[in-house]
């Protein structure tokens, strides 16, 4: 016998060289039985190697004994039940069972397969230590036709179990596992040998307390579900069905057919969660979602939920399954029904507003089509109560503002960022004489040229976000007249605080100014007037006697005639001046008649020309248009213009120009404009002009301009003074041709 190294490299207690000894030691006659029995016999080491075999075994397998020595036990069999066999061998070793009986397929040396019955038992020594296995192998008796069929049907049954995608587990009535198919192994992660012989609840008892003992599992009649732990620790869910194994009319055991429904359950749970989520969303939405369909001529609600529904005082159960007339008051139901019909008939865009219990909401309906037919209508409703309230409030505020803007006497204008007009109100048109159409999209034409700087400053302040309030200044009317105004301007900002335009409120304060001035001046004037009247009387009386005596003396003093003439003319002049004072006190003393202004002005110029030449001043008189005659006092107008021109000449230190231009404003207003390029008047002094005794000149009287104002006033005209320090002065005298619509009458 060849010595072969032990392939497992362990000391076996059964040394093949000692086998004979072993056999003879066990039983003297055993060796001969072993050798000569017709049954194939073999000794197999504890490690599963062929150690010894008799001649029957050699002829059964076709191998010589030497060929087999140290081959693995399994090498001679088809591997189909290798695992099962291993499990049984372990049981033999542990002493759980005493013998194994199996049917196996022997692979003969020539390659033929021979069905054999195989018995195996363990031989132990006197100390009960395992020595080796002894195995008997016999060919299976040839099968009868019946047996053949039975075997085939068993194969079919086996194949059904083996290849079934469902996990199948067989157990006896005590719940002990008898058989497990590969699908079941896959589901649970255990192999067959881990499971066979175990109580079934061992595998899922922990997870399902309510199931209790294995018996209970076995007794389940209907489909049921179990949560079991996979070998890897994960929890899986099984859908199970028990099928009883009935043999000869008695139940021997149960098939447990299991399906892993973990994923299926997960999917179902996700679906449930999604549905719940949808339901919650519909319920918790601020608005309301509803559906309805037409059934037997009525619109029946199939869905209705959302917070709005509860605010309206309803619950879904009040709406679901009901038609409009069961839900709403009759008049509302009729109204809503008309919209429902429209949508049911396919109108894609139906919207309506409903007000109920103080809540206004907007519903939009959308038909749902199936196979080209409307099967349902879905409606979404939003609460618009607040929006409505705000809209009404806004509209009212807007109307209020508009009416305020258009009825106020203040001129209001709204300008864009480039200071171009967006809108002006009626008062604006009235005060400045422009029609709003003439102003739209252009810059305001109301700044006098000399206030260009002021305009610039105003817009710079506005652009810097500052406000201008109550600025008292002057503006130009369309007809060229100046208006005294109080200006308030504010930047308009959007909600982000960015400036997007300007708003201006301009108040016409001409009248106020005039009244103020009058009030102020009239104090001084009346004092001056009374003074003048008193003085005039006091002076005129002695003057009369002086003149009388002078005339008396004149006849006696021949040769000194020249002196007398001078004295008399000087006296006349004093008398005239004194009379002028009387005019101030009593303007009614002026005598009016129709006169030609051109003639009056030409006389004034002729009178002052010599003096102008002396001062090196150019005096120009220009008529821009044909001037009609006017009713006036010639003498007083001469006095007026002499005063103005004289002041102008006195304002020109050297070399200058005085230009008088006469033009017709409209049909019956004459403007005489006197412009000089003299020293000008500081702004703060302007309003003092015309006050009696206000003068800046060493030998001035401060009465000239006061007389001028008086004369113009007596003629129902106006006089404005504009001046720029160091540049010159412009004085406009406006005289109506028919003062006060003929109130002042021509005196004869
Ligand atoms: P008077 O000429 O006697 O000073 P007026 O009443 O005529 O009195 O004038 C009052 C003041 O007004 C003058 O002193 C002068 O300061 C100022 N004024 C009048 N006209 C002009 C003018 N064209 N240019 C500059 N200052 C003027
Ligand atoms: Mg003067």
For the segment 79-91, what is each residue's pLDDT rounded down to a tens digit? 877 788 888 888 8
Q: What is the per-residue pLDDT for 48? A: 86
Q: Does residue 731 carry a pLDDT above 90?
A: yes
408-508: CATH topology is: Beta-Lactamase (3.30.450)
The minimum-distance atom of ligand 1 relative to the CA of 701 is 3
Looking at every residue in the chain, the average pLDDT score rounds to 85
CA distance linking residue 632 with residue 568, whole number of Å? 29
pLDDT digits (tens, 9 = 90+) for 560-585: 777 788 788 778 777 766 766 666 55
Q: Minimum-distance ligand to the CA of 648?
A: 1
Question: Is-contact 598 622, C-beta < 8 A?
Answer: no
Where are any strands of DSSP class E within 248-387? 250-260, 288-295, 298-305, 350-356, 359-370, 373-383
Nearest CA to ligand 1 atom 19: 647
When mean pLDDT is compared across 39-43, 107-111, 445-449, 568-572, the lowest value belongs to: 568-572
Q: What is the per-residue pLDDT for 53? A: 87
Q: Does residue 2 carry a pLDDT above 60?
A: no
Residues contacting residue 483 through CB under 8 Å, at least 6 positions apart: 431, 432, 474, 475, 476, 477, 508, 510
- Percent of the chain residues topping a pLDDT of 90: 39
Residue 651 beta carbon below 6 angstroms from any ligand 1 atom: yes
Residue 700 beta carbon below 6 angstroms from any ligand 1 atom: yes
Architecture field, domain 148-260? 2-Layer Sandwich (3.30)
The minimum-distance atom of ligand 1 relative to the CA of 680 is 25
Distances in Å between the Cα of 606 and the Cα atoms of 285, 610, 645, 650 are 95, 8, 12, 17
Angle between helices 510-556 and 704-714 (to 10 degrees): 110
Give the pLDDT mean for 279-289. Answer: 90
When mean pLDDT is compared across 198-207, 276-285, 591-600, the lowest value belongs to: 198-207
Comparing CA positions, the residue from 448, 406, 443 lying closest to residue 427 is 406
Angle between helices 634-651 and 597-614 (to 10 degrees): 30
DSSP assignment of 456-504 equals: HHHHHHHHTT--EEEEEEEEE-TTS-EEEEEEEEEEEE-TTS-EEEEEE
Q: 0.85 cut: is pTM over it?
A: no
Q: Does residue 218 carry a pLDDT above 70?
A: no
Q: What is the per-residue pLDDT for 9? A: 38
Sheet holding 359-370, edge to edge: 298-305, 288-295, 373-383, 359-370, 350-356
Kindly state the tokens that stand for 43. Answer: 């000794």
Judging by beta carbons within 10 Å of its beta carbon (0-12, 13-18, 19+), is residue 194 exposed, middle or buried? middle
Q: What is the per-residue pLDDT for 404? A: 85
Mutate to test the pocket of ligand 1, among 580, 682, 695, 701 (most ligand atoms within 8 A of CB): 695
The minimum-distance atom of ligand 1 relative to the CA of 690 is 6
Comparing CA positions, the residue from 656, 655, 659 lying closest to residue 674 is 659
Q: What is the per-residue pLDDT for 87? A: 85
CATH class of 267-388: alpha beta
Q: Does residue 351 carry a pLDDT above 90?
A: yes
Q: Which residues pair with 502 in a beta bridge?
A: 415, 491
Q: What is the per-residue pLDDT for 13? A: 46
Comparing CA positions, the residue from 409, 419, 420, 431 lying closest to residue 482 is 431
The minimum-distance atom of ligand 1 relative to the CA of 679 is 25
Ligand 2 centroid – CA 439 distance (Å): 41
Q: Minimum-distance ligand to the CA of 705?
A: 1
Ligand 1 centroid – CA 481 distance (Å): 22
Q: What is the per-residue pLDDT for 15? A: 53
How many other β-carbons are positioned within 10 Å of the β-carbon of residue 128?
Answer: 7
Question: Is-contact 143 156, C-beta < 8 A?
Answer: no
Q: What is the per-residue pLDDT for 704? A: 85
Q: Please check whether the two domains, 3-141 and 148-260, share a CATH topology.
A: yes
pLDDT digits (tens, 9 = 90+) for 235-268: 888 888 888 888 888 888 889 899 988 888 889 8
Residue 676 beta carbon below 6 angstroms from any ligand 1 atom: yes
Q: What is the per-residue pLDDT for 639? A: 85
Ligand 2 centroid – CA 731 distance (Å): 14
Nearest CA to ligand 1 atom 21: 647
Give the pLDDT mean for 153-162. Answer: 87
Question: Is-contact 507 560, C-beta < 8 A?
Answer: no
Residue 647 beta carbon below 6 angstroms from any ligand 1 atom: yes
Q: What is the per-residue pLDDT for 5? A: 41
pLDDT digits (tens, 9 = 90+) for 627-652: 999 999 888 898 899 999 999 999 99
CA distance linking residue 728 with residue 743, whole number of Å? 36
pLDDT digits (tens, 9 = 90+) for 655-708: 899 999 999 988 889 999 999 999 999 988 998 898 877 889 887 778 789 889
Q: Does residue 481 carry a pLDDT above 50?
A: yes
Q: What is the per-residue pLDDT for 8? A: 36
pLDDT digits (tens, 9 = 90+) for 361-391: 999 999 999 999 999 999 999 999 999 999 9
Q: Minimum-distance ligand to the CA of 689?
A: 1
* Element of type H or E holding 719: strand 718-724
Q: Which CATH number fits domain 3-141: 3.30.300.30, 3.30.450.20, 1.10.3720.10, 2.60.120.620?
A: 3.30.450.20
Comparing CA positions, the residue from 258, 152, 153 lying closest to residue 195 is 258
Q: Return the domain boundaries, the chain.
A: 3-141, 148-260, 267-388, 408-508, 516-736
Give the pLDDT mean for 314-339. Answer: 93
Distances in Å between the Cα of 41 and the Cα atoms of 30, 119, 132 are 12, 10, 13
CATH class of 516-736: alpha beta
The minimum-distance atom of ligand 1 relative to the CA of 643 is 7
């Amino acid at each position: 016998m060849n010595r072969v190294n032990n392939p497992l490299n362990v000391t076996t207690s059964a040394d093949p060289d000692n086998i004979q000894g072993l056999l003879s030691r066990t039983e003297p006659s055993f060796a001969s039985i072993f050798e000569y029995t017709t049954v194939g016999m073999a000794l197999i080491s504890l490690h599963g190697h062929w150690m010894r075999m008799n001649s029957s075994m050699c002829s059964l397998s076709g191998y010589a004994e030497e060929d087999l020595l140290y081959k693995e036990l399994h090498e001679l069999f088809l591997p189909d039940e290798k695992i099962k066999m291993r499990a049984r061998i372990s049981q033999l070793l542990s002493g759980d069972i005493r013998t194994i009986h199996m049917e196996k397929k022997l692979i003969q040396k020539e390659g033929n397969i021979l069905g054999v019955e195989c018995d195996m038992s363990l031989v132990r020594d006197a100390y009960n230590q395992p020595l080796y296995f002894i195995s008997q192998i016999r060919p299976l008796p040839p099968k009868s036709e019946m047996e053949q069929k039975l075997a085939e049907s068993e194969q079919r049954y086996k194949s059904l179990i083996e290849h079934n995608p469902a996990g199948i587990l067989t157990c006896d009535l005590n719940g002990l596992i008898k058989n497990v198919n590969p699908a079941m192994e896959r589901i649970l992660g255990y192999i067959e040998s881990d499971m066979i012989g175990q109580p079934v609840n061992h595998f899922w008892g922990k997870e399902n307390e309510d199931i209790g003992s294995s018996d209970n599992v076995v007794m389940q009649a209907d489909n049921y579900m179990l949560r079991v732990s996979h070998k890897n620790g994960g929890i899986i869910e099984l859908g199970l069905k028990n099928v009883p194994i009935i043999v000869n009319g008695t139940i021997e055991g149960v098939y447990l057919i299991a399906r892993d429904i973990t994923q299926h359950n997960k999917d179902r749970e996700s679906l449930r969660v999604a549905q719940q989520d949808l339901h919650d969303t519909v319920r918790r939405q601020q608005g309301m979602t509803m559906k309805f369909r037409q059934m037997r001529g009525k619109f029946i609600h199939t869905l209705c939920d959302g917070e709005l529904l509860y605010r309206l005082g309803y619950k879904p159960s009040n709406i679901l399954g009901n038609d409009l007339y069961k839900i709403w008051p009759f008049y509302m139901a009729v109204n809503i029904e008309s919209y429902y019909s429209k949508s049911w008939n396919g109108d894609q865009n139906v919207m309506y507003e409903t007000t109920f219990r103080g809540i206004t909401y907007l519903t939009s309906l959308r038909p749902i089509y199936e196979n080209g037919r409307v099967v349902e209508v879905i409606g979404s409703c939003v609460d618009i109560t607040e929006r409505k309230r705000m809209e009404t409030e806004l509209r009212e505020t807007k109307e209020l503002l508009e009416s305020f803007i258009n009825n106020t006497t203040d001129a209001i204008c709204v300008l864009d960022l480039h200071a171009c007009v967006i809108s002006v109100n009626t008062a604006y048109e009235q005060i400045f004489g422009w029609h709003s159409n003439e102003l739209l999209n252009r810059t305001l034409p109301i700044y006098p040229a000399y206030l260009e700087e002021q305009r610039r400053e105003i817009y710079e302040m506005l652009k810097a976000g500052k406000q201008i309030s109550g600025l008292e200044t002057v503006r130009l009317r369309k007809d060229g007249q100046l208006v005294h105004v109080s200006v308030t301007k504010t930047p308009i900002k959007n909600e982000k605080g960015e400036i997007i335009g300007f708003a201006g409120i301009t108040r016409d304060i001409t009248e106020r100014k005039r009244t103020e001035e009058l009030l102020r001046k009239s104090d001084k004037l009346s004092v001056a007037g009374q003074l003048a009247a008193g003085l005039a009387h006091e002076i005129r009386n002695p003057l009369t006697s002086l003149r009388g005596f002078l005339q008396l003396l004149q006849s006696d003093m021949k040769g000194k005639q020249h002196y007398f003439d001078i004295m008399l003319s000087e006296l006349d002049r004093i008398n005239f001046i004194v009379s002028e004072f009387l005019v101030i006190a009593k303007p009614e003393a002026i005598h009016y008649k129709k006169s030609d202004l051109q003639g009056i002005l030409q006389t004034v110029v002729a009178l002052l020309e010599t003096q102008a030449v002396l001062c090196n001043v150019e005096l120009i008189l220009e008529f821009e248009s044909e001037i009609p005659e006017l009713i006036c006092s010639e003498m007083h107008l001469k006095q007026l213009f002499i005063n103005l021109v004289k002041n102008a000449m006195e304002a020109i230190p050297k070399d200058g120009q005085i230009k008088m231009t006469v033009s017709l404003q409209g049909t019956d207003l004459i403007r005489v404009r006197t412009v000089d390029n003299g020293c000008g008047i500081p702004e703060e002094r302007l309003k003092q002009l015309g006050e009696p005794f206000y003068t800046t000149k060493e030998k001035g009287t401060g009465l000239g301009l006061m007389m001028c104002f008086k004369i113009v006033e007596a003629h129902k005209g106006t006089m404005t003074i504009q001046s720029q320090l160091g540049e010159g002065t412009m004085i406009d005298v406006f005289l109506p041709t028919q003062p006060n619509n003929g109130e002042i009458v021509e005196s004869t």
